[in-house]
Structure 1
Amino acid sequence: MVIPVHDLNPTRRTPWVTYALIAANFVVFLLTPAVSGSATGQGTLAQLCHLHAFTEQWALVPRELIHGRLPALVPTGDTGVGVHGPGCVLGPPTYDKSPALSVLSAMFLHGSWLHLLGNMLFLFIFGNNIEDRMGHIRFTLFYVACGYAAGYGFALLNADSAQPLIGASGAIAGVCGAYLVLYPRARVWVLVPFLIFLPLRLPAWIVLGFWFVLQAFYSAGDAVSEAGTVAYTAHVVGFVVGMLLVLPLRPGTPPPPEPQGLLFGRRARPGAQRPGW
């Protein structure tokens, strides 16, 4: 797995929407119940019950989205003692949840610092160029459309699942798909774990293409590590939709300028031939 840290693809305008999305995701995360224990995955029972109730109300639940009805019992946020010991109390929902709007709210929820930081890193690196090419309003609509496509795609393939789905991954996957179409030859600095983190400058088609293949591999169930805890299908759907939506913009997109002076982190000698990725 490669970790992107920076791309060599300048922009013409300030990506205010990208910055606003990143800020909004951090604010929502900090306001999420039990966030203090999310770094270690630990928390008190009361905090975890409150978090489960919060997530149930605002996350995307495939069964609710496809069948259009709320469950009879949901976590209330309270704790109690049952036949199996202490646990979270269930009760009738006291809120009126819109399953369709939950797709949007779920795009701003994250389960841990690692989940949040990973998503925001990809959005920060690749979102600015897509916003620069589309403009602020079209980029906002594009981001939301990819998130909805990813959410509904995952729900349709898991129609009977009651497992909440959260995260901006589907929308950001759409951004990555658009970047691959518009700027396949843009250079991206990545860290490759090989004994140590080895910095390399690679073309975007390798970085994002490898990422997509990995997501598709996991979504097919061929990998056994964490395939049941991450919505890889949503990543694949968002990525493909992002690619398709941005295709009309491709003919008018100039290629990124060729980086000058640096060759794999070192200053190139005059006359040295650069690799033609």
Structure 2
Amino acid sequence: MFPLYDTIPSLRKPVVNYMIITVNVLVFLYELALFWNEELLQEFFYTFGFVPERMFYAFPVLQIFTHMFVHGGWSHIIGNMWFLKIFGDNVEDAMGHFKFFVFYITGGIFALFFHVVFNPFSPYPMVGASGAISAVMGAYFVLFYYSRIVSLVFFILPFIVEIPAVVYLFVWFLLQVLNGVFADVTGAGVAYWAHAGGFIYGVLVGMRIRRKRYWY
């Protein structure tokens, strides 16, 4: 189920969402300049990605932030930015620009440490915005559960269908947990537990925002 767009237009221009997408793209363009030299590219990933096993001898403080702006390839950057474009604008609407930025960064950090809990000795650098974007999706799940996600579905032939957001995102979250349980335990490949952790963080923050709406 590949999402094409949601059915709720944003009320304000999502300037922070655009800014985050722009920074990610610019960093990836820099990475492209390193593609000709595999050694330099790997050094870039290990310098700015978060390597869990390094926590035991030199805690990588900078990489807590930088890892979420580094991507491993075209499909990685395009997929992440597309999901952020679809779900980020409405969540920014609900939170406001500054709070959305803080939420995005803290969601990425929470997702990172959720990944580390399950892969504390991994020697592989964790890179990508998917943990932070998963937090955005978790908040969307709570705040815009009534929305519908227009998606491209492949079943013999491709077709387009509207899926309730609450169903789409719940299935997505369930798949992350199942993949986390059964995927490679070395910590290489897709960081499914970061996705799950980010989503949980987004749900918790989204619930807090909903409660405030009802109180006032």
TM range (shorter): over 0.9
Q: Are positions 1:67 and 2:56 aligned together?
A: yes
Query: In 2, Cα distance between the equivalents of 1:163 and 1:140?
Result: 27
Match of 2:77 in 1: 116
Please list the CA deviations of residues 63-115 of structure 1 after superposition, one character each: whole Å capped at 9, or x if unmatched: 12x3242xxxxxxxxxxxxxxxxxxxxxxxxxxxx612202101000001000
* Amino acid paired to 2:108: G
* Structure 1 residue 228, shift from structure 2 partner: 4.5
Two-structure CA RMSD over aligned residues (Å): 1.7
The percentage of counterpart residues that share the same residue type is 38
Q: Distance in 2 between matches of 1:16 and 1:33?
A: 26
The counterpart of 1:243, out of the listed 179, 203, 207, is 203
Distance 2:75 2:165 in 1: 23
What is the SS of the residue equivalent to 1:32?
helix
TM-score with structure 1 length normalisation?
0.73
What residue in structure 2 maps to residue 54 of structure 1?
44
- 1:222-261 mapped onto 2 (5 Å cutoff): 228-251=188-211, 252=213
Does the Cα contact within 8 Å between 1:177 and 1:239 map onto a contact in 2? yes
**Larger Cα Rg: Structure 1 or Structure 2?**
1
Q: Which segments of 5 or more consecutive residues in structure 2 lack a partner in the other structure? A: none
1:147 to 102, 108, 124: 108
Q: Structure 1 stretches (4+) deviating beyond 3 angstroms?
A: 33-36
For CA contacts below 8 A with separation 6 or more, give which structure has more relative contact order. Answer: 2
Q: Give the number of the structure whose residues are more often helix, by fraction.
A: 2
Residue 241 (structure 1) shift: 0.7
Query: Please, what TM-score do these two structures have when normalized by structure 2?
Result: 0.92
Query: How many Å separate the matches in 2 of 1:181 and 1:246?
Result: 6
What's the counterpart of residue 19 of structure 1?
18
Note the C-alpha offset of 1:122. Answer: 0.6
Is 1:9 aligned to residue 16 of structure 2?
no
Q: Is the 8 A contact 2:124 2:188 kept in 1?
A: no
Mapped to 1, the partners of 2:34 and 2:16 lie a distance apart of 25
8 Å CA contact 2:51, 2:125 repeated in 1 = yes
- Which one of the candidate residues 140, 147, 171 is aligned to 2:132? 171
Deviation at 1:250, TM superposition (A): 1.4
| 3-state SS in 1 of match to 2:69 | coil
Cα deviation for residue 218 of structure 1 reads 0.3
Following superposition, the deviation at residue 196 of structure 1 comes to 2.3
* Structure 1 residue 195, shift from structure 2 partner: 1.8
Corresponding residue for residue 105 of structure 1: 66
Deviations 1:136-177 (A, max 9, x none): 000000000110001112123222111110000000000000
- Structure 1, unaligned runs of 5 or more: 37-42, 70-97, 254-277
Equivalent residues of 1:68, 1:99 under 8 A apart:
no
Hey, what's the Cα distance between the residues in 1 that align with 2:26 and 2:33? 14
CA displacement, residues 188-236 of structure 1 (integer Å, 9 cap, x when unaligned)? 1000111222100111011111110100100011x57xx8511101000
Report what 1:31 is aligned to. Answer: 30
